[in-house]
């Protein structure tokens, strides 16, 4: 069983976590070893980052409207002939946070989790524990995809929680499937010299975890291999 990261992937999610912590952490700050200065900076980061996202959305909306206006002026068409609304500054601007809002957040969370008073219940309440999921390697099956890259087969797959992918190839030479490579990256090109006449190359693969094969073999993929003469 493993935990995913507590940190949201999207900027909207990160802003939400900052706001959640700015609301709940002040009551727990003392027992977790956080200072008033830490709480003040968290508040500035929370308000400032949310404000930046808000202004970005407004800017994107106005960019769309001004682009449509420009296109209508240039090409003609029906629609509103008024200028789009221009963006005005808010009357009360929040303080601009120093660069590194999420870095400070990660550092603070590490400090919280290192506190002798930190518990899993606190982590759950503060949303600092990622979702737990069970790794069931026995059911893993690679989903291979194959593309033509300058005449050579390029294999792609999703790596997931696996350590690597073991790939075997049958190049139509009568040897059947033979070991090709073990790759830790989710994509590799077979640069083996191509045959002079059209031959079908085939590929299959299986995931590896901790240097052992796990799961089941992928479906076999075929690729028409031949030297491309200019």
Residues 125 and 14 in one domain: yes
4 vs 227: CA distance, rounded Å: 46
> Is 230 inside a domain boundary?
no
Residues 21 and 108 in one domain: yes
CA 147, chain centre distance (Å): 23
**What percent of the chain is predicted at pLDDT more than 90?**
63
- Residue 69 pLDDT > 70, yes or no? yes
> Is 145 inside a domain boundary?
yes
220 vs 106: CA distance, rounded Å: 44
> Is 82 inside a domain boundary?
yes
220 vs 19: CA distance, rounded Å: 49
> Is 182 inside a domain boundary?
yes
Residues 78 and 42 in one domain: yes
Predicted TM-score of the model (pTM): 0.55
- Total domains, the chain: 2
Residues 38 and 8 in one domain: yes
50 vs 52: CA distance, rounded Å: 5
Other beta carbons less than 10 A from residue 39's beta carbon = 16
Q: Which of 114, 133, 152 is the last residue of a domain?
A: 133
Residues 151 and 205 in one domain: yes
Q: Would you place residue 133 in the very low, low, confident or very high pLDDT band (cuts 50, 70, 90)?
A: low
Region of poorest pLDDT, from 116-120, 125-129, 131-135, 184-188: 131-135
For residue 108, give the nearest of 51, 52, 28 by alpha carbon: 28
CATH number of the domain within which 149 lies: 2.60.40.10
What residues contact residue 60 under an 8 Å CB cut-off, 6+ apart? none
Per-residue pLDDT of 2-51, as tens digits, reads 456 788 889 999 999 999 999 999 999 999 999 999 999 999 999 999 99
Residues 32 and 106 in one domain: yes
- Residue 156 pLDDT > 70, yes or no? yes
| SS3 (DSSP) at 135 | coil
> Is 124 inside a domain boundary?
yes
- Residue 132 pLDDT > 70, yes or no? no
Higher local confidence (pLDDT), 228 or 118: 118
Domain containing 212 equals 140-225
pLDDT of residue 229: 53
Q: Would you place residue 1 in the very low, low, confident or very high pLDDT band (cuts 50, 70, 90)?
A: very low
Q: Which of 82, 101, 133 is the last residue of a domain?
A: 133
CA 222, chain centre distance (Å): 30
Q: Which of 111, 133, 155 is the last residue of a domain?
A: 133
User: What is the enclosing helix (H) or strand (E) of 192?
Assistant: none
Q: Would you place residue 166 in the very low, low, confident or very high pLDDT band (cuts 50, 70, 90)?
A: very high
- What are the two backbone dihedrals, phi and then psi, of residue 151, each rounded to the nearest 5 degrees? 90, -15
Residues 88 and 151 in one domain: no
């Amino acid at each position: 069983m493993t935990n995913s990261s507590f940190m949201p992937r999207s900027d909207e999610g990160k802003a939400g976590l900052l706001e959640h912590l700015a609301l709940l952490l002040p009551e727990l700050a003392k027992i977790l070893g956080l200072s008033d200065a830490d709480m003040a900076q968290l508040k500035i980061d929370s308000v400032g980052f949310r404000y930046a996202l808000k202004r970005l959305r407004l800017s994107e909306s106005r960019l769309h409207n001004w682009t449509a206006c420009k296109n209508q002026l240039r090409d003609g068409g029906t629609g509103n002939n008024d200028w789009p609304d221009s963006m005005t500054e808010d009357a009360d601007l929040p303080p601009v946070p120093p660069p590194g809002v999420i870095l400070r957040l990660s550092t603070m969370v590490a400090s919280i989790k290192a506190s002798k008073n930190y518990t899993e219940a606190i982590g759950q309440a503060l949303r600092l524990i990622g979702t737990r999921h069970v790794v069931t390697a026995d059911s893993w099956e690679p989903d291979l995809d194959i593309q033509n890259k300058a005449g050579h087969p390029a294999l792609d797959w999703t790596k997931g929680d696996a350590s690597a992918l073991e790939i075997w190839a049958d190049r139509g030479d009568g040897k059947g499937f033979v070991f090709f490579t073990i790759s830790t990256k989710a994509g590799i090109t077979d640069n083996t010299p191509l045959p002079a006449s059209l031959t079908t190359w085939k590929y299959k693969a299986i995931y590896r975890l901790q240097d052992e094969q796990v799961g089941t073999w992928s479906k076999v993929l075929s690729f028409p291999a031949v030297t491309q003469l200019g």
